[in-house]
Amino acid sequence: MATPLTASTLLKALRDEGLHVVEHRSWRTHNRNHKGPWGPMHGVMIHHTVTSGTTSSVELCYNGHSSLPGPLCHGVIAKDGSVHLVGNGRANHAGMGDDDVLRAVIDETSLPADNEANTDGNRHFYGFECVNLGDGEDPWPAAQLEAIEKAAAAICRAHGWSHRSVIGHKEWQPGKIDPRGFTMDSMRTRIGERLNGGPKPPPPRPAFEPFPGAAFFAVGRNSPVVTAMGKRLVAEGCGRYEVGPGPKWSEADRLSYAAWQRKLGYSGSDADGIPGKSSWDKLKVPNV
């Protein structure tokens, strides 16, 4: 019987496996625990989103929609291999599935056909939504497949599970087709090989914070990365703060970054205050 990983333990397990993890909004306390029990945990479930685009997919999985409130999973795996955490606790991702499949996952034996929907999967499975249209044509980049492998292995490693504790949504709930575009048998083989290779040492932390992408710098973003960026802008003589800098992205941050862009020689729309990779790398924001 496995107790659910805490938010901090989950985050550490994913990063120790070598993943680039993005913490989305209030993911640590975002869950559906008021609707039912969470745990004991028995496995990891893989899905595809039927969407395109990282930002919109992450927001959908965080918020849900009118007929199915979020979170719709625990993490969203983007095509670039980044993992965006959107929930911790019970999530609306697995739905009702086959009790015989659950027993096979618990026993880590071969999966039977999923022909019943009589068991609450949201209680027992971690869920990862992977950005893909699910039409059989949308590609699965190597970085994304590797991230799926790593994310599933990280949780299995934390709980002492084997690769047989990882299933696809299509193996759990009758009528589902996700994930479509690769086989779960091939993915389980990859996960098993990773687990059999022993624990992966944490990668060395870079001296400077890697560029998190322009979409990171949006209204409502709250992150220590924003504070660290602001302090560097002040040190470069580009600070436009009356108070701060602080962790919440603000107009003062945008104006300060625009001043940094102009200092580097950018002008016009290239100095709009939204960080780009080239200017970010030159700012050398300390790793947080």
Contacts of 170 (CB under 8 A, 6+ apart): 114, 176, 177, 178, 179, 180, 184
Q: What is the mean pLDDT of residues 123-145?
A: 97
pLDDT at 199: 54
In the predicted model, is pLDDT for residue 222 greater than 70? yes
Instruction: For the chain, give the percent of residues with pLDDT over 70.
Output: 97
CA-to-CA distance for 259 and 152, rounded, in angstroms? Answer: 43
CA-to-CA distance for 22 and 114, rounded, in angstroms? Answer: 33
pLDDT at 123: 98
Q: What is the mean pLDDT of residues 65-87?
A: 97
Burial (CB < 10 A; 0-12, 13-18, 19+), residue 117, is: middle
Contacts of 219 (CB under 8 A, 6+ apart): 249
Mean pLDDT estimate for the chain: 95
Tell me the three-class secondary structure of the chain, residue by residue: CECCCCHHHHHHHHHHCCCCEEECCCHHHCCCHHHCCCCCECEEEEEECCCCCHHHHHHHHHHEECCEECCCCCEEECCCCCEEECCCCCCCCCCEECHHHHHHHHHCCCCCCCCCCCEECCCCEEEEEECCCCCCCCCCCHHHHHHHHHHHHHHHHHHCCCHHHEEEHHHCCCCCCCCCCCCHHHHHHHHHHHHHCCCCCCCCCCCECCCCCHHHCCCCCECHHHHHHHHHHHHCCCCCCCCCCCCECCHHHHHHHHHHHHHCCCCHHHHCCCCCHHHHHHHCCECC
What does residue 219 show for φ and ψ, rounded to 5 degrees? -55, 130
Q: What is the mean pLDDT of residues 153-175?
A: 98
pLDDT digits (tens, 9 = 90+) for 23-49: 999 999 999 999 999 999 999 999 999
pLDDT at 220: 86
In the predicted model, is pLDDT for residue 124 greater than 90? yes
Q: What is the mean pLDDT of residues 261-283?
A: 96
In the predicted model, is pLDDT for residue 98 greater than 60? yes
Q: What is the mean pLDDT of residues 109-113?
A: 97
pLDDT digits (tens, 9 = 90+) for 178-203: 999 999 999 999 999 999 985 556 66
pLDDT at 200: 55
In the chain, which residues fall in CATH 3.40.80.10?
7-196
In the chain, which residues fall in CATH 1.10.101?
214-283
214-283 domain in CATH 1.10.101?
yes
Q: What is the mean pLDDT of residues 130-158?
A: 97
pLDDT digits (tens, 9 = 90+) for 77-88: 999 999 999 999
pLDDT at 207: 86
Q: Tell me the pairing of strands 83-85 and 21-23.
A: parallel
In the predicted model, is pLDDT for residue 97 greater than 80? yes
Structure-block tokens of residue 137? 């044509």
State in words which class domain 7-196 has: alpha beta
